[in-house]
Amino acid sequence: MSKQTIQWYPGHMHKARKEIAEVMPQMDLIIEVLDARIPYSSSNPMISDLRGDTPCIKILNKSDLADPIVTAQWLEYLELEEGVKAYALTTQDPAEIRKIPQLIRALVPNKEGAHKVIKAMIMGIPNVGKSTTINILANRIIAKTGNEPAVTKQQQRIKLDDGIVLSDTPGMLWPKVQNPLSGYRLASTGAIKDTAIEYDDIGMYAAEYLCKTYPDAMRKRYKLDNLDKTDIELLEDIGRGRGCLGPGGLVDLNKAAAILINELRTAKICRISLETPAMAEAEKKAVIERLALEGVKIKKRKPKKKRR
């Protein structure tokens, strides 16, 4: 598997970033919707830079697809950042999503009262369920939804029944994904278009990671006997078992990858998380060190709270 750096930044995203930067100072609170399977990789670093000290609710959406043990670790980790509250939710349970307004009011206490309007902005990268979340909160179809990334392409304001005005924003990636592993995770979960990275490579990344992290589930799902193999050999075994054979009996890696990625995305293998807080910390450090060698300046993030 070759390590590819993903650059995928449609024009509407560049425009959205400029518009968001202009209105951000007017916001009382930011809601960032993350993919519970990849909270680090699905967190746009530009959002943290843009929001400054504005309180933030981080929603770990699709938690029904993620490993619950790892999700619990992420909730604790994310709340170490000052002004952040984190919640694991799923749009498959609308009742949980409808609790968001009371979470907003709890974080903006100085705006309590029947006539106090709270201005909140909801943000997130493509395909994390942001539009579906908005539709549930509004009790009507406001935002266009779809499994393809970059469905929402312009900002809009939605007035909720709870005295909250919600500003929607396009699903916004950043110009360059500096961490190659984050790129593969974003591709594995469908946050970026499948054409942004070689599909075979995504499949090999997923096969290797899942066989190491969820070996029992992989053995059961794909009838694998030996997991001590290279990434391409594992993907070939998966494809062979599913009949993905081409001329001469060779495994069609593209078809094998398509099967594996689809079953990862839909949790047919098991509930999967593709990264942990410990992995994120190690990878952030590696990226900072690499960029320092390249002479790239890194903005300092907000300090984390001390553990109690």
CA-CA distance, 212 to 221, in Å (whole number)? 14
pLDDT of the residue at 151? 45
pLDDT of the residue at 251? 97
pLDDT of the residue at 32? 95
pLDDT of the residue at 20? 80
CA-CA distance, 101 to 68, in Å (whole number)? 24
For residues 99-120, give the mean pLDDT: 81
Q: Which residue has the higher pLDDT, 77 or 115?
A: 77
For residues 193-220, give the mean pLDDT: 92
Cα first-last separation, the chain: 42
pLDDT of the residue at 51? 84
30-71 pLDDT per residue, tens: 999 999 999 999 998 888 888 888 999 999 999 999 999 999
Binding site, by residue number, is: 61-64, 127-132, 171
pLDDT of the residue at 113? 57
pLDDT of the residue at 212? 98
pLDDT of the residue at 34? 97
Average pLDDT, the chain: 86
List the domain boundaries for the chain: 11-168, 198-265
pLDDT of the residue at 94? 94
DSSP structural state of residue 303: P
For residues 271-275, give the mean pLDDT: 98
Domain 198-265: which topology? Conserved Hypothetical Protein Ylqf; Chain: A; domain 2 (1.10.1580)
Class in CATH terms, 11-168: alpha beta
Nearest one of 126, 49, 37 to 90, comparing CA atoms: 37
pLDDT at 77 over 60: yes
For residues 283-290, give the mean pLDDT: 91
Q: At what angle do helices 277-293 and 68-78 cross, to 10 degrees?
A: 60
pLDDT of the residue at 2? 53
254-263 pLDDT per residue, tens: 999 999 999 9
For residues 176-190, give the mean pLDDT: 89
113-171 pLDDT per residue, tens: 556 889 999 998 888 999 899 999 988 887 665 544 444 445 688 898 778 999 988 76
Task: Please count the CA atoms within 13 angstroms of the CA of 44 that sit on its side-chain side.
Answer: 25
Confidence bin at 227 (pLDDT 50/70/90): very high
pLDDT of the residue at 1? 58
For residues 16-31, give the mean pLDDT: 85
pLDDT of the residue at 143? 63
Name the H helices within 173-267. Answer: 180-189, 199-213, 215-222, 231-241, 253-265
Binding site for GTP, by residue number, is: 61-64, 127-132, 171
